[in-house]
Amino acid sequence: MRFSSLTFLSLIAAGAIANPLDLRPRATLSSFAGTNAYWLPFLTSDADVAATFSAVQAAGLKVLRTWGFQDSTTCTGVHFQCWASSPSSSTPSINTGSDGLQRLDAVVAAAEKYGVKLVIPFVNNWGDYGGMDVYVSKLGLGSHSEFYTSTKAQEVYMDYVKTLVERYKSSDAILAWQLANEPRCNGCSTSIITTWAASMSAYIKSLDPNKLVSLGDEGFFNRSSSTSYPYQGGEGIDFEENLKITTLDYGIAHMYPSNWGQTYEWGNQWISDHAEACRKAGKSCVIEEYGVPVKGATRDHVVPVALVRRAIDVGVDMFWQFGLTLSTGKSSDDGFTIYTDDSDFQTLVVDWANSR
């Protein structure tokens, strides 16, 4: 999710057989309900991390997606990579200290304890928590697109990926590694991200052949005959072509109808088109983020009924996002958060999870 432009999200799913927590490569994903809590690794209290997973488990949610990145140029607070040197000459240091990957250690340990599986992306497309443009700036590159094509950028990225994968690959808590959160390459040929995704997913599989790997994209199509922005490939994503990558185990799509000039009802076709593409590719797809940015009647109607939970072949979904009260107050409220003390938490989260 891009935090600076939040709107309604809803995604697609298709194909649902086998054990949802089967970690074999190319495994299909069965029906389960999950959630997102991007903020978890940045908590400084182990007790708060444990409280979150306890609440997730109690709600019946099986999988949680959280950030595996924090690229800092100030190198203060919780950060995983420190980019303190001047542009064009710097490579980051990986912070394994108590304000670094030890915070992610606490997340993985709590997930193991409470039986919740994790999806962990390695880098952000957006500027929140660093992201690809920090790589571009600090390595003296010229544009966002060079993150995907620069040998130096990929060496740094792969070094970080290797650190995380080798640190956690023995953990049963990891369901899937994810190349990036919402990778885009505006105005680029879609072959740039497809080539990058094929190369990087193969690299991850070489490090850890026993976990699932996903791209983490928004599911944009590349259909020249369409007049609809999410179908035109302008963001450098070709969902159908990326499904052909053998080292990507399942497909993902995100949806922002308001940002894309679409109605909520438009999402029914978006979902159906993704479901069909996934069936043809013989892969599962995941509703990885969805939600409504207002509490009340609209959320109570749209979340359980329209676009998501009555969609054809929906089997795997992870709502955006989980919230609860911690020792420091409420967890991040981006407008989409459903808190454990919200009046509709039981119906939108618990009852739904228990029905899967």
218, 235, 240, 289: which one is catalytic?
289
Kindly give, in sequence order, each residue whose CB lies less than 8 Å from that of residue 48, ignoring residues fewer than 6 positions away: 326, 327, 328
Tell me the sheet residues that pair with 338.
322
182, 218, 235, 288: which one is catalytic?
182
155 is an active site residue: no
Q: How many residues does the chain have?
A: 356
289 is an active site residue: yes
Q: Is the peptide bond before 346 cis (omega within 30 degrees of 0)?
A: no
What order of strands is seen across the sheet that includes strand 81-82?
Answer: 71-72, 81-82, 93-94
Which positions are annotated as active-site residues? 182, 289
